[in-house]
Amino acid sequence: MKVATDIDSAGRASASPPLPVLGQGGRDAGGAPVTVPPCSAIEMCDVWVRYGKSAPALQQVCLNVRQGERHAIVGPSGSGKSTLLKVLKGLVPTEHGTVATLGTPVNGKRAHRQLRARIGYIPQNLGLVSSATVLQNALMGCLHRVGEIRSWLGLFPEAEYRAAHEALEATGISHLSDRLAHQLSGGERRRLAISRALVQRPEILLADEFLSELDDVTAEQVLRGLDKAHRELGMTVLMVEHDLQVARTFCDRVTVLREGCKVCEVNGSEIDDTRLRDLFRGVAAA
Ligand code: ADP
């Protein structure tokens, strides 16, 4: 089985650096702090996916994302990035291989239901309810805490309203709270989808091109909001990102996909834009 390698900007193989430790540490006999390595939030091993009889959308893909890690998936259009996120969300079945999120195998409706609240997903089409207001859409992030009946009746606790308003503020659309989702611009809709994910407070956030259509200032504002949520909640973030600079500067790790295969995985801090672009385009060997 082909195993993708870690490389530095000069193309040398390297080990992953330790990430900031989340979770409980302790002290050794000498009183020095002991760091507990975070466990995997996402594990994929030798995953193959095929739509119908066509060529595999993913082949031999292995991915290990540690809890609290920020990880970007980059690659040309059609390389399997969205499919990879859908597999993790349990929306697309695998033909072969094993997949687990938060230590639970992703292989059926039951697991999907159990994990739904713990895994946030911003799909490319955003999945907003067009006929609901901005505030109502944001509040949908807390359905798993409030329950369906109370939410149908609009009986959200004060704390959830506060969380929704804070999330809308973090993404800069709190002034649009009463507007219907279908009346928003593309960028505003995207910010709403991110707000809803922030309200959900998932352990893993899967985000598919969530910054596209945003201008630079707004994208930076949204990234700051996500950075805050990541730090406060210890959230694991796996994002498909077309902007290679954002991918390598915002994320600890970057995985490059091409034609359904994982080409390599690199440390964001150890690669420059040129080399990452060359890997992306397939003009540099991993
Ligand atoms: P990316 O996100 O990198 O653009 P995708 O995961 O969307 O790539 O697609 C990977 C491959 O799978 C592409 O060849 C695409 O045409 C194909 N594909 C994606 N979704 C479907 C589908 N629902 N039915 C058939 N083929 C699909």
pLDDT tens-digit profile of 233-265? 889 999 999 999 999 999 999 999 999 999 999
Q: What is the pLDDT of residue 108?
A: 61
Per the structure block, which two tokens stand in for 64?
Answer: 């290990």
Q: What is the pLDDT of residue 33?
A: 55
Residue 84 alpha carbon, nearest atom of ligand 1: 6
pTM, rounded to two decimals: 0.83
Q: Cβ atoms within 10 A of the Cβ of 283, count? A: 8
Q: What is the pLDDT of residue 18?
A: 36
Site to probe by mutation for ligand 1, drawn from 51, 84, 240, 258 as the one with most ligand atoms within 8 Å of Cβ, is 51
Q: What are the tens digits of pLDDT across the range 21-48?
A: 333 344 555 655 555 555 899 999 999 9
CB of residue 122 inside a 6 A radius of ligand 1: no
Give me the sign of the Cα torsion angle 251, 256, 257, 262: negative
Q: What is the pLDDT of residue 152?
A: 77
Topology (CATH level 3) of domain 1-11+27-118+202-286: Rossmann fold (3.40.50)
CA of 50 to the centre of ligand 1 (A): 9
Residue 49 alpha carbon, nearest atom of ligand 1: 12
CB of residue 78 inside a 6 A radius of ligand 1: yes
State the pairing for strand pair 26-27/58-66: unpaired
CB of residue 83 inside a 6 A radius of ligand 1: yes
Domain ranges for the chain, please list them.
1-11+27-118+202-286, 128-200
Site to probe by mutation for ligand 1, drawn from 83, 87, 259 as the one with most ligand atoms within 8 Å of Cβ, is 83
Q: What is the pLDDT of residue 139?
A: 94
Q: What is the pLDDT of residue 6?
A: 38
CB of residue 93 inside a 6 A radius of ligand 1: no
Q: Give the separation between CA 188 and CA 44, rounded to whole angstroms.
A: 33
Residues of the chain with pLDDT under 70: 1-38, 108-113
User: Which of 246, 247, 272 lies closest to 257 in space, CA to CA?
Assistant: 247
Residue nearest to atom 23 of ligand 1 (CA): 51
Residue nearest to atom 7 of ligand 1 (CA): 82
Burial annotation 221-233 (CB, 10 A radius, 16+ → b, else e): bbbebbeebbeee
Q: What is the pLDDT of residue 35?
A: 53
**Secondary structure class of 252 (helix, strand, coil):** coil
CA of 74 to the centre of ligand 1 (A): 14
